[in-house]
Amino acid sequence: MEHSKRQFLKGCGALLAGVSVYSVTKSPLAENTDTEAQAEIKYAMVHDENICIGCNACVEACREVNHVPEGVTRLKIDRTGPFGEYPEQSYRFNRVSCQHCEAAPCVRVCPTGAAYIDKKTGIVAVHEERCVGCQYCIAACPYQVRFINPETRTADKCDFCQQTQLKQGLAPACVLACPTKALTFGNLKDPDSDLVRLLKSKPTYRSKVDLGTRPKLFHVQIIDGEIML
């Protein structure tokens, strides 16, 4: 009796350890390698901080098109500064919105699969019906761009206007609204797109790449003003 119990415990322990290691190592990164070859579209965006004037037209356009309620936003323009002495003053503007990570932490932690990567477009989207509002995705997102929509009570964020503009064959609302054309949206897999041409012509950076999330929001770094550490 003692012997069989010990065997049983050992078996259970081994099984449990095996299952948990398997599920943890089966990362979104590994999954993506198969689908990457098939999908023809992989949307990405570039924000040129040299051209952005911080007018917030993108924020307002997004709110209107996607019916984002007051008090929350899918998109923010972070302003830092001023730098330098008057009249030679300047500000820096940084776009804060969903980065549409290839290895999205929100997708990995979502218990119901409500946060998912659209295999056809690479867009990180939210399945509204499945979301229960546990907010694990909001805590997991290192970019802090997810929020609970007070009307639908589900997790919400930028989806490159997947449900609104893209459906009609239009570019995202923020891109169209930008008066200085600081935003470029397009397909990473299309070598002739403006997006790819821009990425090949200017040096860009992406936020928090050391976390291994492989974000698809690129920034052209501002060359104006003082050097910051």
Partner 1 sequence: MSAFHFEGLVWHWPIAIYLFLAGLSAGAVFFAIMLKHFKLAGEAYHSPFVQAAAIIAPITVFGGLGILVFDLTKPLDFWKILVFYNTTSVMSMGVLVLMAYQVALFAWIACIFNKMILQLLGDRLAFVSRMIKWLVKQEAAITGVLVILSISLGAYTGFLLSALIGFPLLNNPVLPLLFLISGLSSGAAATLLGGVLLRGNPNGIEVRFIHGIEIPMILVEIGLIFTFFVGLILSGGQSQVAALNAIGYGFWGWIFWGGVIGVGLTLPLAANLWMKVSADRKFTYVAVTASFSLIGVFLLRNFILYTGQMTGV
Residue 27 binding partner 1, by CB under 8 A: yes
Binding window for partner 1 (CB under 8 A); candidates: 16-24, 71-79, 86-94, 190-198? 16-24
Which amino acid is present at 32?
N
CA 132 – CA 175 distance, rounded (Å): 31
State which residue, 138 or 195, has the beta carbon closest to partner 1: 138
State how far the alpha carbon of 121 is from the alpha carbons of 104, 194, 216, in Å: 14, 17, 12
Using DSSP bridges, classify how beta strands 183-187 and 43-48 pair: parallel, antiparallel or unpaired.
antiparallel
Residue 3 binding partner 1, by CB under 8 A: no
Which of 80, 90, 135, 180 is the binder for partner 1 (CB under 8 A)?
135
Residue 53 binding partner 1, by CB under 8 A: no
**How many other CB atoms sit within 10 Å of the CB of residue 189?**
15
Cβ contact 125:159 at 8 Å: yes
CA 69 – CA 228 distance, rounded (Å): 35
Residue 79 binding partner 1, by CB under 8 A: no
CA 129 – CA 167 distance, rounded (Å): 20
CA atoms in the 13 A half-sphere facing the CB of 128: 8
Which of 35, 89, 90, 112 is the binder for partner 1 (CB under 8 A)?
112
Binding window for partner 1 (CB under 8 A); candidates: 3-11, 44-52, 195-203, 218-226? 3-11
Residue 28 binding partner 1, by CB under 8 A: yes
Cβ contact 178:153 at 8 Å: no
State which residue, 107 or 183, has the beta carbon closest to partner 1: 107
Residue 215 binding partner 1, by CB under 8 A: no
Which of 61, 77, 98, 110 is the binder for partner 1 (CB under 8 A)?
110
Residue 153 binding partner 1, by CB under 8 A: yes
Q: Least distance in Å: CB of 149 to partner 1?
A: 9
Q: Least distance in Å: CB of 99 to partner 1?
A: 12
Cβ contact 160:167 at 8 Å: no
Beta bridge partners of 84: none
Residue 18 binding partner 1, by CB under 8 A: no
Residue 33 binding partner 1, by CB under 8 A: no
Which stretches within 101-189 are classed as H helix?
Answer: 105-109, 136-140, 173-177
Which positions lie near partner 1, rule CB under 8 A? 1, 4-5, 8-9, 12-13, 16, 20, 23-24, 26-28, 105, 107-113, 130-136, 138-144, 148, 153-154, 208, 211, 213
